[in-house]
Amino acid sequence: MKKLINSPDTVLTDALAGFAAAHPELTVDLGQRVISRRARPAAPKVAVVSGGGSGHEPLHGGFVGPGMLDAACPGEVFTSPVPDQVLAAAQVAHSGAGVLLVVKNYTGDVLNFRLAAELAEEEGIEVRTVLVDDDVAVQDSTFTAGRRGTGATVVVEKAVGALAERSAPLAEVAALGERVNAASRSFAIALTAATVPAAGKPGFDLPDDEIEVGVGIHGEPGRRRERLRPARELAAEVVDTVLADHELAAGDEVIALVNGLGGTPLIELYVVYGEVAARLAERGITIARNLVGNYVTSLDMAGFSLTLTKADPHLLDLWDAPVATPALRWS
Amino acid sequence: MKKLINSPDTVLTDALAGFAAAHPELTVDLGQRVISRRARPAAPKVAVVSGGGSGHEPLHGGFVGPGMLDAACPGEVFTSPVPDQVLAAAQVAHSGAGVLLVVKNYTGDVLNFRLAAELAEEEGIEVRTVLVDDDVAVQDSTFTAGRRGTGATVVVEKAVGALAERSAPLAEVAALGERVNAASRSFAIALTAATVPAAGKPGFDLPDDEIEVGVGIHGEPGRRRERLRPARELAAEVVDTVLADHELAAGDEVIALVNGLGGTPLIELYVVYGEVAARLAERGITIARNLVGNYVTSLDMAGFSLTLTKADPHLLDLWDAPVATPALRWS
Amino acid sequence: MDIPLALAWIREIAAAVEREQARLTELDSAIGDGDHGSNLSRGFTAVLPALDALAPASVGAVLTKVGTTLISRVGGASGPLYGSAFRAMGKELPGERATTAELGEALAAGLAALRELGGAAPGDKTIVDAWAPAVAAFTAAADHPGADHPAADLPAAAKAAADAAAHGAEATTALQARKGRASYLGPRSIGHQDPGATSTALVFQALATVTA
Amino acid sequence: MDIPLALAWIREIAAAVEREQARLTELDSAIGDGDHGSNLSRGFTAVLPALDALAPASVGAVLTKVGTTLISRVGGASGPLYGSAFRAMGKELPGERATTAELGEALAAGLAALRELGGAAPGDKTIVDAWAPAVAAFTAAADHPGADHPAADLPAAAKAAADAAAHGAEATTALQARKGRASYLGPRSIGHQDPGATSTALVFQALATVTA
Ligand SMILES: Nc1ncnc2c1ncn2[C@@H]1O[C@H](COP(=O)(O)OP(=O)(O)O)[C@@H](O)[C@H]1O
Ligand SMILES: Nc1ncnc2c1ncn2[C@@H]1O[C@H](COP(=O)(O)OP(=O)(O)O)[C@@H](O)[C@H]1O
Ligand SMILES: [Mg+2]
Ligand SMILES: [Mg+2]
Ligand SMILES: [Mg+2]
Ligand SMILES: [Mg+2]
């Protein structure tokens, strides 16, 4: 395993210390492992809190700041945070208007955030939860764990964060989060496996000419293996897979996220974006806004994911609203 | 070779097409391979133009926009642009106040930009050139090609870009660029080699437990090999190596860039940043501003570089000035 | 079971988790995210000092402490699940000693709690597939005259439970996961033993070891 | 040398570059950035159609066209260097044919141009280390009565130049680079043959081939 770390068990602590040093505008509680805004809101507003396993940077800590998250609680690598930690994040972020928890749909996250929500409610903090489940690689069914939450988390967090800044009530912010999640679908392809520091070796071995199709962001293998093919074909397959599970029609507008999984350089992501845009154009779908880069990663995994969120004027307005976080900033 | 590309010889064309689709606020001339701002300046201003081989994304195209570059000309992967291309960039960017060429110190870049400058002068465009040579891994001497230009390019381009927006004259902007370069030093460590698409395999083989120390951003091997060690030790070695070649004293302020080489995930870069900050604190040096992320990459190479630029109030003021480019934006 | 035995059981689980950590992570790498071993290791490494600091007044106090510690230290799916199971068991055992029958009811309460929280049924390729048969075997072995006498054939019941749990864990190999991370693999989850069911087998083997 | 021979020379260089592209890139990977082969291939792939479109009035017109095309297509260090060399040679040969002596002077002018632009001296482990000995050998072989007669022992001079260039290229292996990318390696550049000197050997071998 080749990593710039001190030791597998200190990766998170060390990374958080570095994050704290790099971002003085944020408060990082190294004991509780909670990242929050240094500036408290002038008036009470819905506090948007998210978290999950580490290894997906900049998610979630990189999205804490005006216009997006109020606090984030990073768990161990690929392991959801514990309830106490989520509670601590909710407490520090709470400014009197309730807390919205943005949770990616994984059993561990769901259970730990649920226990945390109970604890918070016991303390008289009003809590609502938005579950993000956008990954079409996983069949949705009540008999399974359901679809995974991946790239759409960024779109959901940006949208609810912007609405919360406009001091909308908790119910409204939660409802928006559910709408944006429902309007989002994602799919990922990996060229290499991620290496969890504690495991010390790649989660799966992939021959030099093979890729994992429908891979997860926790090194979970995909649903099948294929030959590596030109970016044009891979992009087309990903677009078609996402659209097959999406109620998008010609003429619709989308927010498109071409997301790197951590080990793929930007030049390749732009190649992919070009092919994605071309394919969507063929299908009569317009990209109203886009992001190209590493936003929801899987440690050092090489590959990309595509997230398409159906856009409407209200969502675009929220998307364009000012944001000032380590990983996303515009005005 | 595992890459998200269509073919080795179309990488640049395809990536530029994707970049153009992703950034409608920029003009991308796919024929000439020139990226420029869509909006012309209201009044004549010094045009800041940079370029170099591709494979270092977001450098340089990702830094085109208000507050930074006026135009960029990406060459083939790891190959400097040709004179005609640099000339085209200078022509489109020129608004009547002259052109500043920011050139990384590599023989190919120096020669091609020199020929381009001659052509531009022949067309009556006033041209000045700033050579960036910050890499302390290379001994500086008039008998050699001199030090390489790496991470400092970002700091130089941000600073001269900001000064140019304030409609300073060409000589002044050029002088600032030289000062910022003179105040900057960098050093890089690679965990893996970059794979040039046309070559099809890594530029060098590195055993699983070895690193290249003092590596370049073109897959040039470093000056020596070492055992992989904890991030704390590597960061300390890099800081000490940079400081040994830097006229920094306790009490000084710096702009610090912990830069990923392309294949290293953000969580590791934050681990490194934490160690770098700690080491600098020991040496009595204050980090006034920082960047942590992938800014000057080497395709899929894993590793990082550290750039330290001595800061003064004027430079910090220019650093804080608004910038709105694909890769760097704040206000 | 008395308080010292309860403490011995937990310490044996902790030791087993350390021994098997790599294997648990290995299994989780195949159909999950490669952290089950480190998750449980983190949890039980925190449990030991927590127990040392504790002056338990009941068997239940020990198990409850284990549950709350796992919940607040592990994270992931296994933290809340094992944590809730131990907390539920703790509730059932308020006395300084517990009969084998009472312990059997506690183990059943633990199963109910983790099923309630996780919503998994037998056959879903989860912890349940080892815990459920273990409870059944334990109660069957314990369920006969004399069981109300504290130590009554606890060894036999524990041994039966351990064998059933191990057996149940191995049987998960043939199953397609319907819950947890492995469910994302669909048919590709078949042919791999479930990490959580495997760690549950360790929990019951530990009980057999300390009661033997 | 007449115009058809000049064209044949360039086409032979282009063919050699295609044949040796992988090897040139290989050498450049060891002490450079692994693109010398693709750089020259890109350049000469552009040169061929440019020459087809050209109705050259002089030997120099051919070489000048080669130079300007390389400069505007190759990029990297080798583009401007080879480009300037060919442009300088072109300037020297305004006629429809050139004597062997004139060609020798042109080759010397090419060397002067690339030394002027690149600032490299013999021994710096660059193109110069193949081109310089080639010029010396060519002039020595050409420099005797009869050389003013066009075809006079051009074959002999070209052969001598090719051998000297090949020899000079091989000799770069022992050198520590002081110019170009390889200079960044310091002592580690020793033991590898210089890619540019190697491609220069191809240029002179091509001349020998078409004149033989
Ligand atoms: N809904 C559930 N009910 C019961 N057990 C479950 C459930 N989901 C997952 N598990 C168990 O949890 C184990 C994985 O635990 P762990 O790896 O620690 O958590 P995570 O999957 O969050 O990384 C699985 O092997 C499975 O046995
Ligand atoms: N200053 C110089 N003078 C002469 N030749 C040089 C000089 N610098 C580099 N070269 C030659 O250029 C070759 C590399 O060419 P190439 O790989 O195409 O360009 P780059 O180094 O920009 O990638 C080197 O092998 C060397 O022979
Ligand atoms: Mg996990
Ligand atoms: Mg090059
Ligand atoms: Mg796991
Ligand atoms: Mg080269």
pLDDT by 10s per residue, chain B, length 331 = 999 999 998 999 999 999 999 999 999 999 999 999 999 999 999 999 999 999 999 999 999 999 999 999 999 999 999 999 999 999 999 999 999 999 999 999 999 999 999 999 999 999 999 999 999 998 776 677 889 999 999 999 999 999 999 999 999 999 999 999 999 999 999 999 999 998 888 988 899 999 999 999 987 777 789 999 999 999 999 999 999 999 899 999 999 999 999 999 999 999 999 999 999 999 999 999 999 999 999 999 999 999 999 999 999 999 999 999 999 999 9
Least CB-CB distance to C80: which of A77, A111, A148?
A111
E strands of A99-235, at which residues?
A: 99-104, 127-132, 184-190, 210-213, 224-227
Rounded distance from Cα A298 to ligand 3 centre (Å):
12
State the average pLDDT over residues A17-41.
97
If you average pLDDT over residues A276-304, what whole number do you get? 98
User: Angle at Cα A185 formed by Cα A311 and Cα A212, nearest 5°?
Assistant: 145
Give the Cβ contact number of residue A166 at 10 Å.
12
Q: What's the CA-to-centroid distance between D35 and ligand 4, angstroms?
A: 5
Q: Are B216 and B135 in contact (CB under 8 A)?
A: yes
Answer whether D198 contacts ligand 2 (Cβ < 6 A): no
Q: Looking at residue B254, what is its pLDDT?
A: 98
Inform me whether the pLDDT recorded for D152 exceeds 70.
no
pLDDT tens for the 212 residues of chain C, in order: 999 999 999 999 999 999 999 999 999 989 998 889 999 999 999 999 999 999 999 999 999 999 999 999 999 999 999 999 999 999 999 999 999 999 999 999 999 999 999 999 999 999 999 999 999 999 999 876 555 555 568 999 999 999 999 999 999 999 999 999 999 888 889 999 999 999 999 999 999 999 99
Q: Is A144's Cβ below 8 Å from some Cβ in C?
A: yes
Ligand showing the shortest atom-to-Cα distance for residue C37? 1
Question: What is the average pLDDT across A262-271?
Answer: 98
Decide: helix, strand or coil at residue C191. Answer: coil
Report the distance separating Cα B273 and Cα B280, nearest Å. 10
Best A1, A7, A111 member to test C by mutation, with max C CBs in 10 Å, is: A111
**Residue A177 to residues A170, B10, B327, C70, D68: CA-CA distances in angstroms?**
11, 40, 28, 31, 60
A94 flagged as catalytic: no
Nearest CA in chain D to B83: D72
Question: Do D86 and D63 contact (CB within 8 A), yes or no?
Answer: yes
pLDDT tens-place string over residues A64-107: 999 999 999 999 999 999 999 999 999 999 999 999 999 999 99
> Is B94 one of the catalytic residues?
no
Angle between the N-to-C axes of helices D195-211 and D78-92, in degrees from 0 to 180, rounded to the nearest 10 = 30
Q: Which of residues 308-327 of A touch B (CB under 8 A)?
A: 324
Burial of A124 (0-12, 13-18, 19+ CB in 10 A): exposed
> Is the peptide bond between A207 and the residue preceding it cis, with omega within 30 degrees of 0?
no
Averaged pLDDT score across all residues of chain A: 96
Q: What is the value of ipTM here, to two decimals?
A: 0.92
Q: Which chains touch A (3 or more CB pairs under 8 A)?
A: B, C
| CA-to-CA separations, A65 to A323, B90, B165, D36, D178, in angstroms, rounded | 7, 38, 28, 47, 50
For residue A129, what are the β-bridge partners?
A101
pLDDT the model gives residue D144: 67
Among candidates B7, B292, B331 on the partner chain, residue whose Cβ is nearest the Cβ of A22: B292
Lowest mean pLDDT among A160-164, A216-220, B130-134, C65-69: A216-220
Please, are residues C126 and C194 in contact by the beta-carbon 8 Å criterion? yes
Interacting residues of B298 by C-beta distance below 8 A, sequence separation 6+: B55, B56, B190, B194, B215, B216, B217, B218, B219, B261, B262
For A6, the closest chain B residue by CA position comes to B230
Q: Is the pLDDT of residue D185 over 80?
A: yes
pLDDT at B138 (0 to 100): 84
Q: Where is D136: in which H helix or E strand?
A: helix D128-142
Which residue, chain included where needed, has tokens 């409608």?
B24
Number of residues that make up chain B = 331
Burial of C151 (0-12, 13-18, 19+ CB in 10 A): middle
Question: Residue A111 and residue C188: Cβ atoms within 8 Å?
Answer: no
Chain A residues within 8 A of B5 when measuring between CB atoms = 230-231, 268, 271
Task: Name the token pair of C32.
Answer: 């999950």
Q: Which amino acid does the sequence have at A270?
A: Y
Q: Does the reported pTM lie above 0.90?
A: yes
Are the CB atoms for B254 and B276 separated by under 8 Å? no
User: CA D192 to CA D175: how far, in whole Å?
Assistant: 8
A77 chain-B contacts, CB cut-off 8 A: 267
- Tell if the CB–CB gap between B5 and A231 is shorter than 8 Å: yes
Separation of alpha carbons C131 and C108, rounded Å = 9
Query: Which of D24, D29, D81 is the pocket-test mutation for ligand 2 (most atoms within 8 Å of CB)?
Result: D81
Tokens 């106040």 correspond to B97
Are C42 and A76 a contacting pair at CB < 8 A? yes
CA–CA dist A251, A152 (Å, integer): 21
Question: ω before B60 within 30° of 0 (cis)?
Answer: yes
CA proximity to C25, closest of C208, C201, C196, C202: C196
**Under an 8 A CB cutoff, do A294 and B231 touch?**
no
Residue A217 amino acid letter: I
pLDDT digits (tens, 9 = 90+) for D16-61: 999 999 999 999 989 998 889 999 999 999 999 999 999 999 999 9
What does B272-331 look like in DSSP terms, one character per residue? HHHHHHHHHHHTT-EEEEEEEE-SS--TTB-EEEEEEEE--HHHHHHHHS-EE-SS-EE-
Nearest CB to D183; choose among B85, B144, B198: B144
Find, in chain D, the residue whose alpha carbon is nearest to that of B213: D185
Query: Who surrounds ion ligand 4 at CB < 5 A?
Result: B 78-79; D 33, 35, 76
Phi, then psi, of A273 in degrees rounded to 5:
-60, -40
User: Residues D109-132: pLDDT tens digits?
Assistant: 999 999 999 999 999 999 999 999
pLDDT value at residue C152: 62
C88 neighbourhood in chain A, CB within 8 Å:
none
| D147 pLDDT above the threshold of 60 | no
